[in-house]
Amino acid sequence: MSNGNMNLTLKVWRQSNSTAAGKMENYQLGGVSPDMSFLEMIDMLNEQIIRKGEDAIAFDHDCREGICGMCSMFINGEAHGPNRGVTTCQLHMRSFKDGDTIYIEPWRAEGFPVVKDLMVDRAAFDRIIQSGGFVSVNTSGRTMDANAIPIPKDDADKAFDAATCIGCGACVATCPNSSAMLFVSAKVSQFALLPQGHPERKERVLNMVKQMDEEGFGNCSNIGACEVQCPKNISIENIARMNREYLSASVKPEN
Ligand code: SF4
Ligand code: FES
C-alpha cells in the first residue's frame, strides 16, 4: 500500500463471561499503521466495533510499557506474539504485513479462568505472592538501610534478573502442563539470593509451592517453553534453584 498502512483480518476470541461458551469472531480492519502498538491496533478495532453499536473487545492493559504484566494474550498461538523479550504492549504492527490474518486469544489455563473475551483472572498469582512473596521488615526505626548490607555482585545481578518478572502469566499459558514454576521460582529466587530474604526463606518456598499446587497449576516437566515465551527472559535456572530451596526447606533436622 502506498502509505504503508495495512489491511488485516483479525480472528478474536469473544466470550461474554466466565461460564459462556466462547468463539472466534472475524473482523476486517484497514488503515493500520506499522508504527502502532498491538494494543493501539485493538483500540482502533474497538472504535470500529463501538461505532457499529456492538460490544467492545475486553482486554487487560495498564502501563503499556512492559511493566505491569496486564496485556496478556496469545497472538497467532504465541504468548505476547511473535517477538521474543517483549510484552504485547511493546509489540508493534511492523511485525506483521499487509493482508495478514492474526489470531488473538486469551491465556488458556485452568488457573486463569476467562473473565471476558481476552481478559483472564490472574488472582491465583496474587494469592501465591500473599503466601510468601514478601520480606517482613522491622519498622522499629532502627531498620538497617538495605544499601548498608554488602551483596556479591553475581548474587545481586541474579536477584535483579529474577525480580524483573512482571507476573504476566505467559509461562503458565505456554506450558503444556500449565505450570507456574517459572513465575514462582523467580519470586522465590529474588529473595533467596539476598540476605534480606533469608529469615523467612524456608516458610516462603514451602508456602508458595503449596499455594501454587492448590491453585491447580501443573508440574514442570522441563520442556522449557516458559523461558522462550517469557517477555522478561526469566531463566529456568530459577526453577532449579527453587527445587533446591524446597528440598532444603523440607528436610527436617535430625534430633
Ligand atoms: S516468569 Fe516471565 S512469563 Fe512468567 S509471569 Fe514472570 S514475566 Fe511473565
Ligand atoms: S500493559 Fe503493562 S506490560 Fe503491557
Residue range 136-186, pLDDT digits in tens = 877 777 777 778 889 999 999 999 999 999 999 999 999 999 999 999 999
DSSP 129: H
Q: Is the pLDDT of residue 129 over 60?
A: yes
Residue ranges covered by each domain of the chain: 6-115, 122-250
Query: How large is the average pLDDT for residues 96-118?
Result: 96
> Is the minimum distance from the CB of 166 to ligand 1 under 6 angstroms?
yes
Q: Give the model confidence (pLDDT) of 234-245 as tens digits.
A: 999 999 999 999
Closest CA to 242 of 208, 198, 199, 213: 208
Beta carbons within 8 Å of 163's beta carbon, 6+ residues apart: 186, 190
Residue 126 has pLDDT above 60, yes or no: yes
Task: Report the nearest-CA residue for atom 7 of ligand 1.
Answer: 165
- Grouping H, G, I as helix, E, B as strand and the rest as coil, residue 254 is coil
Nearest Cα to Cα of residue 236 among 195, 176, 175, 173? 175
Is the per-residue pLDDT at 1 higher than 50? no
Quote the pLDDT of residue 137. Answer: 78
Q: Please state, for a pLDDT cut of 70, what percent of the chain lies above it.
A: 98
Distance, CA of 245 to CA of 126 (rounded, Å): 21
CA-closest candidate to residue 223, choices 212, 242, 239? 239
Class of domain 122-250: mainly alpha
C-alpha 55, offset from chain centre: 26
Where b means 16+ CB within 10 Å and e means fewer, 196-228 reads: bbeeebbebbbbbbebbeebebbebeeeebbbe
Grid look-up 506499522 returns: 34
Alpha-carbon span 239 to 237, nearest angstrom: 5
Q: Which atom of ligand 1 is nearest to the CA of 233?
A: 2
Angle at CA of residue 122, ends 89 and 120, nearest 5°: 65
Find the 229 Cα to ligand 1 centroid distance in Å: 8
Instruction: Indicate whether residue 81 lines ligand 1 (CB < 6 A).
Output: no
The stretches of the chain forming alpha helices (DSSP H) are 38-51, 123-130, 153-163, 170-174, 181-192, 201-214, 225-229, 237-250
Decide if pLDDT at 2 tops 60. Answer: no
Query: Which residue has a Cα nearest atom 1 of ligand 1?
Result: 183
Ligand 1 mean position to 20 CA, how many Å? Answer: 28
Its CATH class, for the domain covering 6-115, is alpha beta
